[in-house]
Amino acid sequence: MKEKNKIKDRDEGRRGVAILIVIAMLSTLMLMASAFSISMRLERKGAANYRHSVVARHLLWGALGLAMNDIDNDLDNSAGFKVAPDWVGLSSAHVAGIPARVTTAESQYYIPGSIRDAVMTHNPKPEWIPILDSDGTQIGRCAYLVANVSGLLDGNLAGGTNRAAGSSARELQPSAGISWEDLAFSLRNDTHFRYESLYEMSRMNPVLYNALGGDDNGFAHVFSCSTEGEFMASLSDPNDVRDKIFIGGTAEELGDATGEIVPALLRCGFTQPSDAAFFLMSMQDYVDEDCDPRAGADSPNTEAFPMINELPVVLKHNALSSTVGVMLRMEFTYPFVNSRGADRFEYNLDATYKLTCDGVDYTGDMKKTADIGYNGNAATDTPLFFTDITKLQVALPEVPTSGVSVVVNGTLEVKKAGGSVTLDKVTDFEVYVALTPDPLLSMAVTNSWECADPRFNWDFSSQWKKKPPSFAAINSLATKQLAKATDAGYDDDYLMYVADSGTLRNVGELGCILEKNNNQYMYKTFKTYGTPDTTRIFEEFTVAEKENRRGLINVNSTSSNVWAAVFRDAPKGAPDDENAERITDSQAKFIGGQLADAVQSYIDTGSSFVDVSKFMAEVGLENILVANPAVPAMSTFNLSSLERELIISSSAGLLTARQNTFVILLCGEKYVSFALKANEGKSMASMFAVATVSRDPFMDKVTGKHKMFVRSFNVLPQ
């Protein structure tokens, strides 16, 4: 009995263990389920957040597409066509009018400092654009703010080499006192290839960043692109885009393109095919590397060699020896601001004289070949003059009683030393002088003939006049002609420039070329500014193959710092590396300010420069590049026509109208609207980005659309 009770007590005690084990297992399972539930909840939220962020990221691209579409519609719509934006900022808009924040602390530093405040305070403010699904349910929203940087420098290209011919964007000088090493062009291109943003530049190359204006006054961005080699024939038909004619080849290649170039010149102010053909020949002479004129010595030309300028004849009687001396003096001028290297030149005189004394004629030859005395190494901003003398003595039988006279007839030529090609020639000249009988004794009399323009000196009968001698100076006849030329709109200076560079470096160099083979147009070179007809050369011609170019300055820029960069350190006179005469920093700043104001005034009329040609015709650059007594920096800025032409030509190659560049601040949100509350909802995820977009303001000839290129798209850290 006792044994049974013990067994029963033992069984009853074991029943509690099972319950405890079950409870423990249930507790463990509950803990595991809770942990799993929490983990799943977190994973679900993480997955949802990731899904929302993916949606928000895709909405950034949607915002970019909307921004690009709105840019395109703003510049080209039924109301009109604009080559350049007339705004600094453009923001997203919607009828709901819900304000959107698209900027972050980092994104604002992608915008150049000179326009940052204007962009950030732009009105109207950005507004959310709702994004709906196929059922009309809002699934997100996006917004954007566009900054127009079309008129600023390309910080990846500006600077880094000497300002000379204006054929490369690297010649732009963004700041005074900054060496090319400081600009670190090699660092930009060899190590980092390019800076992707101003934000990156400011941290990797603060010297360059500050040279381009820094945080407060930055006037550069990091990208630009323009398609060269085409022009828009008419604003009324923006789709009428035509190819420019290439004139960047050698002299021989220019000749091969006569069939294209001459008709184009007739659209640029020339009225006669013969004048256009002469100008093309002058273009060939201008670029070829010899000094042999294609038109010959009996025509004006654009070649650099000493020119016959003045012919004085002297008659002197020596009573003691009863002889008469005859001297023919010859003056040669070299009115070129650039040199012919190591060339040497010689003259060849082939003349006869007839000396008459008391009715008796004495005749003979006056022949001489000699070095002119100029070796081609000198270059100057004033004409050089060289003189020589041919002498002869004629013995007389007795003292003259009725006076003595002499007439010299002949031809005078200029050639390269040892060469066979005649470069300059005066044919059938006739000079004379006479001595009166009382008092005769030992005295000398001089008569002199001078040429108004040595480019036309072969025509002795019409271009030479008897004037008092003016050795080593611009002839009085030429001085008078220059004064008349100024009133007629011709050049007001005696100087010329010949490139001898093998090819044209920019279209503006056509302004250095003699315009016509007509002595009514002495000292008249082709004008590349101020007249709509002649400035059309910038529409018709190009020296670059049809290609994309970077770094060129938009002619619609209203930034004075950008325009100053075009002219800072530009050479006055010969556009070469060694020219020490340069536009100073203070002068460049003044010129830049004047140009920025002129461009802004033109834009305020509702227009924009559709091409460099329109800019050159309308902006009045020739009136800005003048001395201004009221401005200390410009008080001594005295330029001749040639110097103005050379500065304008070396600047024209740095300009374009075909460039639109934008920095676009973007925001995309995954957004859920509340069903019962209008214009209210919850943001599930937000993403911010900055994009750089380039747009071709000209229409593509094939598609009839404007090409747009997304240069960069940077998603910003949250």
- 702-717 pLDDT tens trace: 888 899 999 999 999 8
Contact 189, 599 (CB under 8 A): no
Say what percent of the chain tops pLDDT 90.
46
CA distance 544 to 245: 10
CB-based contacts of 554, cutoff 8 Å, min separation 6 = 84, 150, 151, 655, 656, 657, 659
The two beta strands, 241-243 and 230-232, are antiparallel
Q: Band of the pLDDT at 521, cuts 50, 70, 90? A: confident
Residue-wise pLDDT for 226-267, tens only, equals 988 888 877 667 778 889 999 999 999 999 999 999 999 999
**Residue in 623, 450, 454, 449 with CA at minimum distance from that of residue 523:** 454
pLDDT in tens, 94-132: 878 899 999 988 888 899 999 999 999 989 999 999 998
Q: How confident is the model over 473-493, as pLDDT tens digits?
A: 888 888 887 887 776 777 888
pTM over cut 0.75 = yes
Instruction: Name the least confident of 317-321, 576-580, 635-639.
Output: 317-321
User: Does the pLDDT of residue 189 top 70, yes or no?
Assistant: no
Phi-psi region of 210 (alpha: psi -120 to 50; beta: other; left: phi over 0): alpha
- Three-class DSSP labels, 537-584: HHHHEECCCCEEECCCEECCCCCHHHHHHHHCCCECCCCCCCCCCECC
Q: 191 pLDDT exceeds 60?
A: no
The whole-number pLDDT of residue 137 equals 84
pLDDT category at 359 given cuts 50, 70, 90 is confident
Q: How confident is the model at residue 182 (pLDDT cuts 50, 70, 90)?
A: low
Q: Does residue 549 surpass a pLDDT of 60?
A: yes
Per-residue pLDDT band for 82 (boundaries 50, 70, 90) equals confident
| Contacts (Cβ under 8 Å, ≥6 apart) of 702 | none
Supply the pLDDT for residue 677: 65
Query: Looking at residue 379, what is its pLDDT?
Result: 62
Residue 435 has pLDDT above 90, yes or no: no
Contact 71, 697 (CB under 8 A): no
Dihedral, 497, 503, 506, 507 alpha carbons, nearest 10: 80
pLDDT computed for residue 309 by the predictor: 92
